Structure 1
Amino acid sequence: MRWEVVGWGALALLLFAAEAMAPGAFMLWIGIGAAAVFLITALVPGIPVLWQVVAFVVLSVVAIQAYRRWGRTRGRESDKPLLNRRSEQLVGRVAVLQQGIVAGQGRVSIDDASWQVTGPDLAAGTPVRVVAVVNGVLQVEANG
Protein backbone atom coordinates (compact mmCIF):
# COMPACT_ATOMS: atom_id res chain seq x y z
CA MET A 1 0.00 0.00 0.00
CA ARG A 2 1.20 3.52 -0.77
CA TRP A 3 2.53 5.69 2.07
CA GLU A 4 0.13 8.60 1.43
CA VAL A 5 -2.89 6.28 1.63
CA VAL A 6 -1.64 4.87 4.93
CA GLY A 7 -0.84 8.39 6.17
CA TRP A 8 -4.34 9.74 5.44
CA GLY A 9 -5.93 6.67 7.04
CA ALA A 10 -3.75 7.06 10.14
CA LEU A 11 -4.54 10.78 10.35
CA ALA A 12 -8.27 10.06 10.10
CA LEU A 13 -8.07 7.44 12.87
CA LEU A 14 -5.97 9.75 15.02
CA LEU A 15 -8.49 12.57 14.65
CA PHE A 16 -11.41 10.23 15.43
CA ALA A 17 -9.56 9.00 18.53
CA ALA A 18 -8.89 12.59 19.61
CA GLU A 19 -12.62 13.31 19.27
CA ALA A 20 -13.43 10.25 21.38
CA MET A 21 -10.97 11.29 24.09
CA ALA A 22 -12.05 14.96 24.22
CA PRO A 23 -15.50 15.22 22.64
CA GLY A 24 -16.48 18.55 21.23
CA ALA A 25 -17.61 17.62 17.70
CA PHE A 26 -14.71 19.47 16.10
CA MET A 27 -12.01 16.87 15.45
CA LEU A 28 -14.73 14.62 14.06
CA TRP A 29 -15.31 16.87 11.07
CA ILE A 30 -11.60 17.28 10.33
CA GLY A 31 -11.32 13.50 10.64
CA ILE A 32 -14.09 13.14 8.06
CA GLY A 33 -12.04 15.34 5.72
CA ALA A 34 -8.99 13.10 6.27
CA ALA A 35 -11.10 9.96 5.73
CA ALA A 36 -12.45 11.38 2.47
CA VAL A 37 -8.91 12.10 1.23
CA PHE A 38 -7.93 8.57 2.33
CA LEU A 39 -10.68 7.13 0.13
CA ILE A 40 -9.79 9.40 -2.79
CA THR A 41 -6.08 8.52 -2.66
CA ALA A 42 -6.87 4.84 -2.29
CA LEU A 43 -9.17 4.85 -5.34
CA VAL A 44 -7.25 7.30 -7.55
CA PRO A 45 -3.49 6.71 -7.54
CA GLY A 46 -1.04 9.37 -8.65
CA ILE A 47 -2.62 12.47 -7.09
CA PRO A 48 0.19 14.84 -6.05
CA VAL A 49 0.59 15.35 -2.30
CA LEU A 50 -0.04 19.10 -2.64
CA TRP A 51 -3.47 18.43 -4.16
CA GLN A 52 -4.18 15.87 -1.45
CA VAL A 53 -3.49 18.50 1.21
CA VAL A 54 -5.65 21.04 -0.63
CA ALA A 55 -8.47 18.48 -0.85
CA PHE A 56 -8.08 17.74 2.88
CA VAL A 57 -8.33 21.42 3.83
CA VAL A 58 -11.30 22.04 1.53
CA LEU A 59 -13.18 18.91 2.62
CA SER A 60 -12.53 19.65 6.30
CA VAL A 61 -13.84 23.21 5.94
CA VAL A 62 -16.89 21.95 4.03
CA ALA A 63 -17.60 19.33 6.71
CA ILE A 64 -17.28 21.91 9.52
CA GLN A 65 -19.53 24.39 7.72
CA ALA A 66 -22.11 21.69 7.02
CA TYR A 67 -22.15 20.84 10.72
CA ARG A 68 -22.49 24.48 11.72
CA ARG A 69 -25.30 25.05 9.27
CA TRP A 70 -27.40 21.93 9.75
CA GLY A 71 -26.11 20.14 12.83
CA ARG A 72 -26.01 22.87 15.47
CA THR A 73 -29.09 24.83 14.43
CA ARG A 74 -31.39 21.99 15.34
CA GLY A 75 -31.74 22.59 19.04
CA ARG A 76 -32.54 19.68 21.25
CA GLU A 77 -35.63 20.00 23.38
CA SER A 78 -34.78 19.59 27.01
CA ASP A 79 -36.81 17.31 29.24
CA LYS A 80 -36.13 19.86 32.03
CA PRO A 81 -36.35 23.33 30.47
CA LEU A 82 -36.35 25.08 33.88
CA LEU A 83 -33.33 23.21 35.24
CA ASN A 84 -31.16 26.27 35.90
CA ARG A 85 -34.05 28.67 36.52
CA ARG A 86 -34.82 27.78 40.10
CA SER A 87 -37.30 30.54 40.88
CA GLU A 88 -39.39 29.71 37.80
CA GLN A 89 -39.66 26.11 38.98
CA LEU A 90 -41.64 27.39 41.96
CA VAL A 91 -44.61 28.66 39.91
CA GLY A 92 -47.66 26.70 41.00
CA ARG A 93 -46.17 25.63 44.36
CA VAL A 94 -48.12 26.22 47.54
CA ALA A 95 -46.32 27.39 50.67
CA VAL A 96 -47.14 29.00 54.01
CA LEU A 97 -46.20 32.63 54.56
CA GLN A 98 -43.27 32.86 56.92
CA GLN A 99 -43.66 36.62 57.27
CA GLY A 100 -47.04 38.19 56.52
CA ILE A 101 -47.44 40.35 53.43
CA VAL A 102 -47.61 43.97 54.55
CA ALA A 103 -47.68 46.80 52.00
CA GLY A 104 -47.29 44.18 49.28
CA GLN A 105 -44.06 42.63 50.67
CA GLY A 106 -43.51 39.43 52.65
CA ARG A 107 -41.46 36.22 52.87
CA VAL A 108 -42.15 32.58 52.29
CA SER A 109 -40.02 29.50 52.91
CA ILE A 110 -39.96 26.89 50.16
CA ASP A 111 -37.75 23.82 50.46
CA ASP A 112 -34.43 25.09 51.80
CA ALA A 113 -34.73 28.77 50.87
CA SER A 114 -36.51 31.89 52.01
CA TRP A 115 -38.03 33.94 49.19
CA GLN A 116 -39.27 37.48 49.02
CA VAL A 117 -42.88 37.63 47.86
CA THR A 118 -45.28 40.27 46.63
CA GLY A 119 -49.03 40.12 46.66
CA PRO A 120 -52.12 41.20 48.54
CA ASP A 121 -51.78 41.84 52.27
CA LEU A 122 -52.07 38.52 54.10
CA ALA A 123 -51.26 37.33 57.62
CA ALA A 124 -48.28 35.11 58.48
CA GLY A 125 -49.20 31.43 58.32
CA THR A 126 -51.56 31.89 55.34
CA PRO A 127 -51.10 29.33 52.55
CA VAL A 128 -50.24 31.04 49.25
CA ARG A 129 -49.70 29.85 45.69
CA VAL A 130 -46.84 31.17 43.57
CA VAL A 131 -48.36 32.57 40.36
CA ALA A 132 -45.34 34.28 38.75
CA VAL A 133 -41.73 35.33 39.21
CA VAL A 134 -40.48 38.84 38.43
CA ASN A 135 -36.77 39.60 38.90
CA GLY A 136 -36.38 36.80 41.43
CA VAL A 137 -39.36 37.95 43.53
CA LEU A 138 -42.26 35.52 43.80
CA GLN A 139 -45.71 36.87 43.12
CA VAL A 140 -48.29 35.05 45.22
CA GLU A 141 -51.99 34.91 45.87
CA ALA A 142 -54.00 33.33 48.66
CA ASN A 143 -54.45 29.62 48.07
CA GLY A 144 -58.07 28.60 48.15
Structure 2
Amino acid sequence: MRWEVVAWGALALVLFAAEALAPGAFMLWIGIGAAAVFVLVAVFADIPLLWQVVAFVVLSVVSIQCYRRWGRSHDRQSDQPLLNRRAEQLIGRVVVLDQGIVAGKGRAKIDDAFWVVAGPDLPAGSPVRVVAVEGMTLKVQQA
Protein backbone atom coordinates (compact mmCIF):
# COMPACT_ATOMS: atom_id res chain seq x y z
CA MET A 1 0.00 0.00 0.00
CA ARG A 2 1.21 3.52 -0.78
CA TRP A 3 2.56 5.64 2.08
CA GLU A 4 0.22 8.59 1.47
CA VAL A 5 -2.86 6.36 1.70
CA VAL A 6 -1.63 5.01 5.02
CA ALA A 7 -0.69 8.49 6.25
CA TRP A 8 -4.11 10.02 5.52
CA GLY A 9 -5.90 7.05 7.04
CA ALA A 10 -3.73 7.27 10.16
CA LEU A 11 -4.30 11.02 10.44
CA ALA A 12 -8.06 10.50 10.19
CA LEU A 13 -7.97 7.84 12.91
CA VAL A 14 -5.82 10.02 15.18
CA LEU A 15 -8.22 12.94 14.76
CA PHE A 16 -11.24 10.71 15.47
CA ALA A 17 -9.49 9.35 18.57
CA ALA A 18 -8.67 12.89 19.73
CA GLU A 19 -12.36 13.78 19.37
CA ALA A 20 -13.33 10.71 21.40
CA LEU A 21 -10.87 11.59 24.19
CA ALA A 22 -11.70 15.31 24.31
CA PRO A 23 -15.13 15.77 22.77
CA GLY A 24 -15.93 19.17 21.42
CA ALA A 25 -17.11 18.42 17.88
CA PHE A 26 -14.10 20.08 16.31
CA MET A 27 -11.54 17.35 15.64
CA LEU A 28 -14.35 15.23 14.22
CA TRP A 29 -14.84 17.57 11.26
CA ILE A 30 -11.12 17.86 10.55
CA GLY A 31 -10.97 14.06 10.76
CA ILE A 32 -13.75 13.87 8.17
CA GLY A 33 -11.59 16.06 5.90
CA ALA A 34 -8.65 13.68 6.40
CA ALA A 35 -10.87 10.66 5.73
CA ALA A 36 -12.14 12.25 2.51
CA VAL A 37 -8.55 12.84 1.34
CA PHE A 38 -7.77 9.24 2.30
CA VAL A 39 -10.53 8.07 -0.05
CA LEU A 40 -9.37 10.42 -2.82
CA VAL A 41 -5.75 9.26 -2.56
CA ALA A 42 -6.82 5.60 -2.44
CA VAL A 43 -8.93 5.99 -5.59
CA PHE A 44 -6.69 8.36 -7.59
CA ALA A 45 -3.06 7.28 -7.34
CA ASP A 46 -1.28 10.23 -8.93
CA ILE A 47 -2.41 13.23 -6.83
CA PRO A 48 0.64 15.35 -5.85
CA LEU A 49 1.26 15.89 -2.13
CA LEU A 50 0.63 19.65 -2.37
CA TRP A 51 -2.83 19.06 -3.84
CA GLN A 52 -3.55 16.46 -1.16
CA VAL A 53 -2.81 19.04 1.54
CA VAL A 54 -4.89 21.67 -0.26
CA ALA A 55 -7.78 19.20 -0.53
CA PHE A 56 -7.43 18.38 3.18
CA VAL A 57 -7.60 22.04 4.19
CA VAL A 58 -10.52 22.80 1.87
CA LEU A 59 -12.50 19.69 2.85
CA SER A 60 -11.88 20.36 6.56
CA VAL A 61 -13.12 23.94 6.25
CA VAL A 62 -16.14 22.80 4.23
CA SER A 63 -17.04 20.11 6.78
CA ILE A 64 -16.72 22.58 9.67
CA GLN A 65 -18.90 25.11 7.85
CA CYS A 66 -21.50 22.44 7.09
CA TYR A 67 -21.61 21.57 10.78
CA ARG A 68 -21.88 25.21 11.81
CA ARG A 69 -24.66 25.92 9.34
CA TRP A 70 -26.81 22.79 9.60
CA GLY A 71 -25.65 20.94 12.68
CA ARG A 72 -25.94 23.77 15.16
CA SER A 73 -28.89 25.56 13.61
CA HIS A 74 -31.45 23.18 15.09
CA ASP A 75 -32.36 24.34 18.59
CA ARG A 76 -32.55 21.35 20.84
CA GLN A 77 -35.28 21.68 23.43
CA SER A 78 -34.38 20.40 26.86
CA ASP A 79 -36.73 18.37 28.99
CA GLN A 80 -35.23 20.22 31.99
CA PRO A 81 -34.60 23.82 30.90
CA LEU A 82 -33.77 24.99 34.45
CA LEU A 83 -31.28 22.21 35.18
CA ASN A 84 -28.25 24.47 35.68
CA ARG A 85 -30.21 27.50 36.86
CA ARG A 86 -30.59 26.74 40.52
CA ALA A 87 -31.87 30.16 41.54
CA GLU A 88 -34.59 30.13 38.88
CA GLN A 89 -35.76 26.73 40.12
CA LEU A 90 -36.70 28.39 43.39
CA ILE A 91 -39.28 30.77 41.89
CA GLY A 92 -42.66 30.08 43.43
CA ARG A 93 -41.33 28.37 46.57
CA VAL A 94 -42.43 29.54 49.99
CA VAL A 95 -39.55 29.70 52.48
CA VAL A 96 -39.00 31.07 55.98
CA LEU A 97 -36.62 33.98 56.55
CA ASP A 98 -33.50 33.05 58.50
CA GLN A 99 -32.62 36.71 59.01
CA GLY A 100 -35.25 39.39 58.78
CA ILE A 101 -35.32 41.71 55.81
CA VAL A 102 -33.96 45.08 56.92
CA ALA A 103 -33.50 47.95 54.46
CA GLY A 104 -34.58 45.63 51.66
CA LYS A 105 -32.03 42.82 52.29
CA GLY A 106 -32.23 39.63 54.31
CA ARG A 107 -31.34 35.95 54.25
CA ALA A 108 -33.24 32.70 53.90
CA LYS A 109 -32.09 29.11 54.19
CA ILE A 110 -33.38 27.03 51.31
CA ASP A 111 -32.51 23.34 51.39
CA ASP A 112 -28.78 23.30 52.17
CA ALA A 113 -27.84 26.86 51.19
CA PHE A 114 -28.32 30.38 52.46
CA TRP A 115 -29.64 32.87 49.93
CA VAL A 116 -29.66 36.66 49.98
CA VAL A 117 -33.23 37.85 49.60
CA ALA A 118 -34.61 41.26 48.75
CA GLY A 119 -38.07 42.53 49.45
CA PRO A 120 -40.19 44.46 51.92
CA ASP A 121 -38.96 44.67 55.51
CA LEU A 122 -40.10 41.59 57.46
CA PRO A 123 -38.98 39.96 60.71
CA ALA A 124 -37.04 36.69 60.90
CA GLY A 125 -39.28 33.64 60.72
CA SER A 126 -41.72 35.24 58.27
CA PRO A 127 -42.84 33.08 55.35
CA VAL A 128 -42.01 34.60 51.97
CA ARG A 129 -42.58 33.52 48.38
CA VAL A 130 -39.74 33.74 45.84
CA VAL A 131 -41.09 35.75 42.91
CA ALA A 132 -37.99 36.56 40.84
CA VAL A 133 -34.23 36.25 40.62
CA GLU A 134 -31.73 39.04 40.04
CA GLY A 135 -28.22 37.64 39.79
CA MET A 136 -27.83 35.59 42.96
CA THR A 137 -30.42 37.57 44.93
CA LEU A 138 -33.91 36.20 45.30
CA LYS A 139 -36.74 38.73 45.09
CA VAL A 140 -39.43 37.83 47.62
CA GLN A 141 -42.81 38.99 48.82
CA GLN A 142 -44.73 38.11 51.94
CA ALA A 143 -46.53 34.77 51.58
Q: TM-score range by the shorter chain?
A: 0.7 to 0.9
1:60 equivalent in structure 2 = 60
User: Are 1:91 and 2:114 an aligned pair?
Assistant: no
Q: Which runs of 5+ in 1 are unaligned?
A: none
2: CA distance, partners of 1:139 / 1:26: 41
Shift of 1:121: 4.0
Shift of 1:62: 1.2
2:110 equivalent in structure 1 = 110
2:72 equivalent in structure 1 = 72
Higher radius of gyration, 1 or 2: 1
> CA, structure 1 residues 123+14, in 2 after alignment: closer, same or farther (shift >3 Å)?
closer
TM value normalised by structure 2: 0.79
Does the residue aligned with 2:54 lie in a helix, a strand or coil?
Answer: helix
2: CA distance, partners of 1:97 / 1:66: 53
Does the residue aligned with 1:108 lie in a helix, a strand or coil?
Answer: strand
1:81 equivalent in structure 2 = 81
2: CA distance, partners of 1:106 / 1:53: 64
Shift of 1:36: 0.7
- What amino acid is aligned across from residue 87 of structure 1 in structure 2? A
1: CA distance, partners of 2:115 / 2:21: 43
The equivalences for 1:1-144 within 5 A come to 1-143=1-143
Shift of 1:73: 4.0
Shift of 1:66: 1.9
> CA, structure 1 residues 76+126, in 2 after alignment: closer, same or farther (shift >3 Å)?
same
Does the residue aligned with 2:14 lie in a helix, a strand or coil?
Answer: helix
2: CA distance, partners of 1:18 / 1:139: 46
Q: Which one is further off, 112-121 or 59-68?
A: 112-121
Shift of 1:104: 4.1
RMSD: 2.4
Q: Which runs of 5+ in 2 are unaligned?
A: none
Does the residue aligned with 1:23 lie in a helix, a strand or coil?
Answer: coil
TM value normalised by structure 1: 0.79
